[in-house]
Structure 1
Amino acid sequence: MNTSVPKGPDPKEKGAVFLGWLKKRGGLRSAADCRRKCTENGFEAKWFIKEMGEERIALYFSRGNKVIVLKDMVWADQWMMHYNLEVPHHRHWIDL
């Protein structure tokens, strides 16, 4: 874990894993998919969104379906790096 602490609410490691999962999928997934992923990680999506703040991650309706949108990618990236969860894009890998 990095020593500098990013600004904003701490999603904790399990929350940062969820943020990484959501970000990897374009920052938007169905609420049902997100609930399943949060349950796997041991927390509830609805309370996670409320605790993190709707300016960062929010629940919306899109074409009649509930979706969760990651609105603050920079915040998510900072916490993912803080917990050493940031996975480089394939073009950033170095052959050994």
Structure 2
Amino acid sequence: MHVSGELDLANAAVLRDHVEQLTLVHGHRLVIDLSGLTFCDSSGITTLFAACQHTQAAGADIVLAGVPAHTLRIFGIIGLDQVFTFWTGADAL
């Protein structure tokens, strides 16, 4: 799944709806490519965390790929770097 532009209050619900419509089972991996992300507010972060909970409830994994440095820094500050797996550089898609 690719997210680009702004992930904020105005459009976070769209991502949440897309993720909730996915049928995930044990062994699946949801990769959310954030390389095109230009802005992410607390609603976006909450939505990504909800996606994490959705995948974990299904026994699946979630990976955030291509996370911009400024967003990755925020994830570190709030401790979500301990929750998510990140793919960067050669690991990314």
TM-score, scaled to structure 1: 0.27
Q: Which has the higher contact order (CA 8 A, sep 6+)?
A: 1
Between structures 1 and 2, the one with greater strand share: 2
User: Rg bigger for which structure?
Assistant: 1
Q: TM-score, normalised by structure 2?
A: 0.28
